[in-house]
Amino acid sequence: MKAQVQPITLILISGILITLVGAAYIWGVPVIQKRTTLADFTATTNFMLALNDKILDIANSGGGRHSVDIPKGFARVIPYDAADPNNNSIILEVIIDQPMLVLDQEIPIKTSSLQEVGTFGRNEPRILTVKEDRFTTQYKLTFKLHYIELDTTGGQPKGFKIALTSQDTSAGSEKATASFNKNIVQPGQAGNRGDLALTLIDVDVV
């Protein structure tokens, strides 16, 4: 998928920063704890964005292999063909000491579309979100990097999609490695009824 889209980021990370709301977080917690929580959030956000950049670089070039160290938390890969509502996603779960977001709400990070099928040349091929839940006496941030289909709107109908696979290990807390697998075409399977071009990217996590 060498013609993969250039990003147009419309939903900014400021949308998340506005939701740094818990009263305990704002006033009742020592500054050192606030800084640690924010540092963990920033590091894991940057990891997900960096991993996405590596995956896009591999997809666009039709080859290559890149690794990104996991700064904190536990990551897992859910392949594109898995019988799972989160298929074609990379999930990273991080435990933090203080609340940062509105609980139980999924919030987009630097994402231009939240639809499963976007427009080729306009939308990014991924959705990045984060959700916060209570975790015993702490809180869990669940980051999800999910890849969607991009369809053309003029000329011959066609769709493009990055499809995540995992050859070796699909869960871990140290490093994520992305590498090119192959390109395949599924005739008539795009949302616009054109051919769907899949770029298979292996993402292995240790």
Q: For 108-164, write each residue's pLDDT tens digit.
A: 998 878 899 999 999 999 999 999 999 999 999 999 999 999 999 988 999 999 999
Structure tokens, 33: 């704890």
Enumerate residue ranges in the chain where pLDDT < 70: 1-34, 168
**What confidence score (pLDDT) does residue 125 get?**
96
CA Rg value for the chain: 18
Containing 101, the helix (H) or strand (E) segment is none
b/e for 133-152, b at 16 or more Cβ within 10 A? eeeeeebebbbbbbbbbbbb
What per-residue confidence (pLDDT) applies to 104? 84
